[in-house]
Amino acid sequence: MVSYKEIGLVNTRAMFAKAVKGGYAIPAFNFNNMEQLQAIIQAAAETKSPVILQISKGARNYANQTLLRYMAEGAVAYAKELGWKRPQIVLHLDHGDSYELCKNCIQMGFSSVMIDGSALPYDENVALTKKVVRYAHRYDVTVEAELGVLAGVEDEVSAEESHYTKPEEVIDFVTKTGCDSLAISIGTSHGAYKFKPEQCTRDPKTGKLVPPPLAFDVLKAIEKKLPGFPIVLHGSSSVPQEYVDIINSNGGKLPDAVGIPEEQLRKASRSAVCKINIDSDSRLALTAAVRKTLAEKPAEFDPRKYLGPARDEMKKLYIHKIVKVLGSAGKAK
Ligand code: G3H
Ligand code: 13P
Ligand code: ZN
CATH code of the domain covering residue 101:
3.20.20.70
| 129, part of any domain | yes
pLDDT band at 241 (very low <50, low <70, confident <90, very high): very high
> Is 27 a member of any domain?
yes
Nearest ligand by distance to the CA of 190: 2
In this prediction, residue 217 carries a pLDDT of: 97
Q: For position 207, what pLDDT does the model report?
A: 84
Query: Cα dist. 273→171, 212, 277 in Å?
Result: 16, 19, 11
**Residue 154 clears pLDDT 60, i.e. is over it:** no
- Give 204 or 156, the one with higher predicted confidence: 204
Q: Is 282 in the pocket of ligand 2 (CB under 6 A)?
A: no
**pLDDT confidence of residue 206:** 85
243 part of a folded domain: no
- Choosing from 194, 232, 279, 280 the residue with most ligand 1 atoms within 8 A of its CB, the one to mutate for a pocket test is 279
State residue 34's pLDDT score. Answer: 98
**Domain span at 182:** 4-190+213-234+262-279+311-326
Q: Is residue 45 a part of any domain in this protein?
A: yes
Judge whether 196 lies within some domain. no
Is 200 within the bounds of a domain?
Answer: no
Tell me which of 29, 52, 56 to substitute to probe ligand 1's pocket, judged by most ligand atoms within 8 Å of the beta carbon: 56
Tell me which residue has its CA closest to atom 9 in ligand 2.
277
pLDDT at 152: 60
Whether 236 is in the pocket of ligand 2, judged by its Cβ within 6 Å, is: yes
- Residue from 94, 180, 279, 281 carrying the catalytic annotation: 94
What is the pLDDT averaged over residues 84-105?
98
Q: Catalytic site residue 94?
A: yes
Average pLDDT over residues 204-227: 94
Residue 281: the pLDDT is 98
Q: What is the mean pLDDT of residues 321-333?
A: 98
Instruction: Give the whole-angstrom CA distance, residue 72 versus residue 95.
Output: 18
Task: Examine residue 160 and state whether it is found in any structural domain, yes or no.
Answer: yes
Angstrom distance (rounded) from CA 50 to CA 275: 11
Residue 208: its pLDDT value, please?
85
Least confident of 15-29, 81-95, 199-213: 199-213
246 belongs to a structural domain: no
pLDDT at 129 over 60: yes
**Mean pLDDT score of the chain, rounded to an integer?**
95
How confident is the model over 274-325, as pLDDT tens digits? 999 999 999 999 999 999 999 999 999 999 999 999 999 999 999 999 999 9
Total domain count, the chain? 1
Is residue 258 left, alpha or beta, with left meaning phi > 0 and alpha meaning psi from -120 to 50?
A: beta
**CA separation, residue 327 to residues 17, 62, 264 (Å):** 15, 31, 13
